[in-house]
Amino acid sequence: GPKVLQIPSHQIIDMGQMVTLNCDPVSNHLYFYWYKQILGQQMEFLVNFYNGKVMEKSKLFKDQFSVERPDGSYFTLKIQPTALEDSAVYFCASSLLGGGAEQFFGPGTRLTVL
């Protein structure tokens, strides 16, 4: 079936550094999402992105976070600067439509902030 890819699979950085997480969504999808998973269980919505704009973001999407998808390339999540509490697994998802359409998830990027 359709696959979402995420690069890298694991990233270790020092607190205060910048990190960019990359997502290669399903090729014809139009809606893109980031979710954050802590402790291997709780999965929480961060942001969704459509037509070059953030459509909705949660309280977890702090001012240090930003997303973009320049020229149809990777959909990226940038954190600058990072904090210890940003350590988590970040999942990218994409869907063809918004509003309740099936989302396809990538395998996740495990971010460790030291």
Binding-site ranges for other proteins (CB under 8 A) = 4, 31, 33, 35, 40-45, 48, 50, 55-56, 58, 91, 93, 95, 97-108
Classify burial at 41, counting beta carbons within 10 Å of its beta carbon; exposed 0-12, middle 13-18, buried 19 or more.
Answer: exposed
Q: Which is nearer to other proteins, 72 or 99 (CB)?
A: 99
Task: Give yes or no for a contact between 88 and 65, defined as CB atoms under 8 angstroms apart.
Answer: no
The two tokens of residue 54 are 């953030």
Q: How far apart are CA 111 and CA 17, in angstroms?
A: 12
Residue 26, helix vs strand vs coil: coil
Please report how close the Cβ of residue 16 comes to other proteins at its closest, in angstroms: 28
Query: Considering beta carbons, is residue 82 or 103 the nearer one to other proteins?
Result: 103
Q: How far is the CB of 33 from other proteins (least distance, A)?
A: 7
- 16 vs 62 by CB, closer to other proteins: 62
Q: How far is the CB of 14 from other proteins (least distance, A)?
A: 24
CA 68 to chain centre: 10
